[in-house]
């Protein structure tokens, strides 16, 4: 039941931050929702961010797994091509790209959506969020999820950021 509630909040809020536990499958849900966005929003630029590039690619691999398991007879099954840290949706001018944390990773790009996984454990979480703020201001969405830990992410979850 919490997956439906979380989805409904995510659909309406451009800034979404949530503590998670492994049993909640929140990472899978967020990868699914961002993949859905890529499938149905032409021209979308979606970024999966983790503390290391390899972990960002693991999120891309989850998206590819989801896409691989869409039934072939589905009318709107998208065409896509996965390469390391990148999923291209030909014909839609849409992509999902995995990048590591840091304020300079997304600075020059306009993002439709940014998904940050395990944000509480990053060395440069605050800086990454700060550099991502124009995405929200420009009509995009920012999603931060993480296991609990004191610090910047906790401040974000409880609206304590100044």
Say if residue 136 is exposed, middle or buried (CB neighbours under 10 Å; 0-12, 13-18, 19+): middle
pLDDT of residue 2: 85
Residue 107: band (very low, low, confident or very high) from pLDDT cuts 50, 70, 90: confident
* C-alpha to C-alpha distance for 34 and 21, rounded to whole angstroms: 19
Gap between the terminal Cα atoms of the chain: 33
pLDDT tens, residue by residue, 20-60: 887 779 999 999 999 999 999 999 999 999 999 999 999 99
> How far is it, in rounded angstroms, from Cα 131 to Cα 148?
23
Give residue for tokens 């830990």: 149
Mean pLDDT lowest for which of 18-27, 63-72, 112-121? 18-27
């Amino acid at each position: 039941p919490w997956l439906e509630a979380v989805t409904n909040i995510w659909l309406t809020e451009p800034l979404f931050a949530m503590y998670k536990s492994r049993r909640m499958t929140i990472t899978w849900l967020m990868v699914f929702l961002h993949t859905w966005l890529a499938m149905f929003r032409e021209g979308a630029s979606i970024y999966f961010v983790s503390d290391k590039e390899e972990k960002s690619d693991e999120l891309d691999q989850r998206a590819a797994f989801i896409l691989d398991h869409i039934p072939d007879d589905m009318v709107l099954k998208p065409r896509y091509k996965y390469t390391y840290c990148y999923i291209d949706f030909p014909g839609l001018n849409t992509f999902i790209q995995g990048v590591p944390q840091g304020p300079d990773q997304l600075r020059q790009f306009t993002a439709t959506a940014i998904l940050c996984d395990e944000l509480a454990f990053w060395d440069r979480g605050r800086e990454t969020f700060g550099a991502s703020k124009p995405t929200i201001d420009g009509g995009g969405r920012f999603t931060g999820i993480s296991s609990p830990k004191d610090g910047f992410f906790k401040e974000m979850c409880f609206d304590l950021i100044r």
